[in-house]
Amino acid sequence: MAGFDIREMMNDIDEAPGKVWFWDLEQAVIDADRCVQCGVCVAACPTDSIGIGSDDLPELVKMCTGCSLCWDFCPRGGLQYEATWKISGNGNGHRGNGLGHVEESYTAKVDPAIEGVQDGGFVSALLISLLENDEIDGALLARESETERWKGEAFLATTPEEVRECAGSFYNQTLALGHVDFKGYDLPPNPRIAVVGTPCEIEGIKAMQARPWTWGTSQVEAITLTIALLCTKSFNYEKLMLEEIRDKRGVDLDNVGRVDIIRGKMIVQDLEGESIFEEPIRDFHNAALKGCDECADFMGHAADISVGSVGSADGYSSVLVRSEEGRVAFEHVRDRLLTRPLDKPQALDKLDALDKRVAFSTLKRAFDPDAPLFIDFEDHLNDYAGTDRAPVEHEAVRY
């Protein structure tokens, strides 16, 4: 009972023009292996009809009403993701060339460094400062699964200690936006939440906030600060950590103390900080999410703050403050940091240019930051028909 074709069930009833059902999204994105596991379709559904399956992909959990919102806000579906870049920053509709719109930029690290964090500890220090100053009530992060070693899962940290426990990097997506209902947490009636995520997740947030609607139980309006992690690609957990690292390279995941990607290399260290292996990231291409190839947003243009290791010396973070909200947040942590002008902005430009070349060779539609926010389903079908990313056709299966 994988699903059914709602149009077959409607017989001769005329359906509203432009209506897109979850099964259209499923065929065009999920089954076409283009899903980037951001979770925005879960967040956007006004009837909470979309959940997260055991395969970490969106799935229908109750009747779809055909409202089209899951399609509209999907960054591999109806969302013209680059159009979200003009929503953030000064609103001038920058085209994402180079660093994009930046209010301030720094090479920074914590002084003294917070034990256990990576790349200067900036994000942890920022969130701790905001919590201590009662500027936010929680931060949506990734922490390690209790059952699967080195698998990141979405978690809302509400104390400085919980932020410290989430320090470190995970390279699988957590469907973070599928967890913005904030159930089970002791939060005030109108919480203020910071989100740390990949550029595609931030794009989804900004798009939903720019088009306010009733999002079911999702509290998208509670997100008051977005922090993008510089990102060229995310990985499938099973393919990366289990098949490539554990099985192919014989690494005991219980003995791994750090996993990181620096200067184009996958670095895995043991619990004592000794290197287990360092390999070019291209060796792990088959473990990457296919949909990431279509993303030209390495820089996190839609975020309030973008952070990563590229462009700064080892042990430091590159910090791009993009909006007034980002600048205000940064002021709360400035005194805890050692800062200087960005070490190598040209390194960021170089990787951004490479990322865009890959995206432009893979994306089957026109790339236009000045275009309308949404893409019609029929236009998507026309653009992707006959390509290796075309929708996967299903035969109707009735319940």
pLDDT confidence of residue 27: 96
Both tokens assigned to 323: 């909006």
Residue range 124-156, pLDDT digits in tens:
999 999 999 999 999 999 999 999 999 999 999
Confidence of residue 167 (pLDDT cuts 50, 70, 90): confident
Look up residue 195 and give its two tokens.
């989100």
Q: Which is more confidently placed, 119 or 162?
A: 162
Rounded distance between C-alpha atoms, residue 184 and residue 176, angstroms: 15
pLDDT at 131: 97
> What is the pLDDT, as a whole number, of residue 13?
59
Pairwise pLDDT comparison (183 vs 283), residue with the higher score: 283
- With bands split at pLDDT 50, 70 and 90, how would you rate the model's confidence at 214? confident
Give per-residue pLDDT as tens, 215-246. Answer: 999 999 999 999 999 999 999 999 999 999 99
Please report which residue ranges of the chain form alpha helices under DSSP H.
Answer: 6-9, 22-25, 40-44, 69-72, 122-132, 160-165, 199-210, 237, 324-331, 345-362, 377-384
pLDDT band at 168 (very low <50, low <70, confident <90, very high): confident
User: What number is the average pLDDT over the span 288-317?
Assistant: 95
How far is residue 128's CA from residue 73's CA, in Å, rounded to a whole number? Answer: 31
The strand pairing partners of 196, in sequence order, are 227
**Residues 259-274: what's their mean pLDDT?**
91
pLDDT score for 268: 96
Angle between helices 324-331 and 122-132 (to 10 degrees): 80
Q: Please state, rounded to an integer, the average pLDDT across all residues of the chain.
A: 91
Q: Taking residues 8-34, what's their average pLDDT?
A: 82
Residues above pLDDT 90, as percent of the chain: 83
Q: How confident is the model at residue 9 (pLDDT cuts 50, 70, 90)?
A: low
Give the pLDDT band (50/70/90) at residue 350: very high
Please state, in angstroms and rounded to a whole number, the distance separating the CA atoms of residues 201 and 44: 12
Question: What per-residue confidence (pLDDT) applies to 96?
Answer: 60
* Residues 60-104 pLDDT 10s: 999 999 999 999 999 999 999 999 998 765 444 455 668 999 999
The DSSP symbol for 273 reads: S
Output the pLDDT for position 241.
97
> So where are the chain's domains?
6-82+368-384, 84-361
Q: How far apart are CA 66 and CA 202, in angstroms?
A: 25
- Residue 263: predicted pLDDT: 81
Question: 299 near 95, Cβ under 8 Å?
Answer: no
Note the CATH architecture for domain 6-82+368-384: 2-Layer Sandwich (3.30)
